[in-house]
Amino acid sequence: MAHKSALILADLALILVVGALLKPLLRRLRQPAVIAEILAGIALGPSLLGLLPWHLPDRLFPQEARADLSAVAQVGILLFMFLIGWEADLGQIRTRRTEVLGVSLSAITVPFGVGAVLATWLFTHHDLVGQHHISRTAFVLFVGTAMAITAFPVLARIIVDHNLQTTTVGVLALASAAVGDLLAWCMLAFVSVVAASAGTGQLVSVLGYSLLFAAVLAFVVRPLLRVLTARMTRNGTVSPYLLPLIAAGVFAAGYTTNRIGLDAIFGAFAFGLITPRGPKELLYARVAVPVKHVTDLLMPVFFITTGLSVDVTRLGGTGLVELVAIVAVACFGKLAGTVGAARVSGMSWRDSSLLGFLMNTRGLTELIILNAGMSLGVLDTQMFTMMVCMAIITTGMAGFVLPRQGVQRADPGAPALHDRTVASDEQVAVPEVMKTERPVGAGKPDAVVSR
């Protein structure tokens, strides 16, 4: 037991060090830090380290230790999903509603449609997970939904890195991704209900319990949280019990959805949606920032648990053809859907194309969804590997094609669509009162919560 605990501690140290070493290199290639952490997880798995003798991945990360590492990673994922739900403040979208809805809906429906068509072909080669046959409907819906995802946190990081947060393209991308991701998570919840159900009776049961859970959150937990938050944030101070209370709520919500038959991430995300957002300055400083720091340390563990399931060396010729098809369809769906809607709204070809590449980023959000697909038994190892590679490629493309300057600025007189600057891959930004005022185009904000 003592040896196992020591091995887990050594694994955690190795994961953090490898990720930290890769970040400066990837930053030179204009890539967000999340790409470095994903690649670190893959490099420590069978795809790279496994090519060396002595079976190093199995020695460094034996099966008895992987369960504990997965538990640590699960804590990070749930807290991250809570932050994503908390940040999904769609009430901030007050201008450009037509453009935002047009781009977000088109950027979801088009890739979902072409992804579903591709999935009908892929299903013939990936209809077995272990010894169990996969539901064709669940597989097609899941792949289509995975194609439709845009990773809002990574997108925000890329926008800040390229100083696009005050441009028409950047503002529209942030708003559209926020709306689109909320819709995509709803789609994934429905797909999970279908995948988790063995028959019509169980489908009705899972759906019924899910609706009951949503009703309890909306009409019981949310009002209770409002009262507790108001009492715990009096006189400009925050009670030390508020953060543990919210964290307990996140884990309890995750446990509930897991018992229902869905992935725990949906419970954490839903709890974030109903958690009060005010007083903004106090809650961001005393809740969002500490939770963000915890996810910074725990999410790299999630990447190694993901990387241990990715083995590009076993794709073979057929797998490479399927990978090319997946990447091509993913890029075509997002670019066609986004560029087409942007052009209809009156944007130039150049700005429409830039918007398309921004909306094509999938990053960490995609990995969370893919891991949910593995736990639901919808994806086999080869399909999982190809989809992870697609997420890395589509996310990395934006850093190479986006210019550093020369993009049209948004109307300075219009209200902001997103009044928080997100400056790291899975981050919650600081409130406006904590930022240093800078003129437009002067570079990144001085004070941000960053990795």
Among candidate residues 196, 177, 187, 368, the one with its CA nearest the CA of residue 268: 368
Does residue 213 form part of some domain? yes
> What does the pLDDT average to over 211-229?
91
SS3 state of residue 416: coil
Structural domains counted in the chain: 1
Highest-confidence segment of 242-246, 295-299, 427-431: 242-246
Using only C-alpha atoms, the chain has a radius of gyration, in whole angstroms, of 21
Q: How high is the pLDDT of residue 209?
A: 85
Does residue 364 form part of some domain? yes
Does residue 448 form part of some domain? no
Helix (H) or strand (E) holding 133: strand 132-133
Place of tokens 């038994």: 377
Does residue 428 form part of some domain? yes
- What are 118-176's pLDDT values in tens digits? 999 999 888 888 778 888 888 999 999 999 888 877 787 777 767 776 777 887 887 88
pLDDT at 358 over 60: yes
Q: What is the 3 state secondary structure string of 331-372?
A: HHHHHHHHHHHHHHCCCCHHHHHHHHHHHCCCHHHHHHHHHH
Upstream peptide bond of 240 is cis (omega within 30 degrees of 0): no
**Which amino acid would we find at residue 435?**
K
- What are 280-334's pLDDT values in tens digits? 778 888 888 899 889 888 888 888 888 888 888 888 888 899 999 999 999 999 9
Which residues make beta-bridge pairs with 29? none
Does residue 161 form part of some domain? yes
**Which amino acid would we find at residue 4?**
K
Terminus-to-terminus CA distance in the chain, angstroms?
33
Question: 105 is written with which tokens?
Answer: 């809906």
Of 242-251, 277-286, 375-384, 406-415, which gets the smallest average pLDDT?
Answer: 406-415
Does residue 284 form part of some domain? yes
- What are 370-407's pLDDT values in tens digits? 888 888 888 888 999 999 999 989 988 877 777 654 44
**Angle at CA 37, nearest 5°, toward 50 and 451?**
160
Does residue 439 form part of some domain? no
Does residue 233 form part of some domain? yes
**Which amino acid would we find at residue 352?**
S
**Which amino acid would we find at residue 426?**
E
Domain extent, residue 324, equals: 3-434
- Please report, for the domain that includes residue 305, its CATH number: 1.20.1530.20
Question: 304 is written with which tokens?
Answer: 């190694």
**Which amino acid would we find at residue 281?**
E
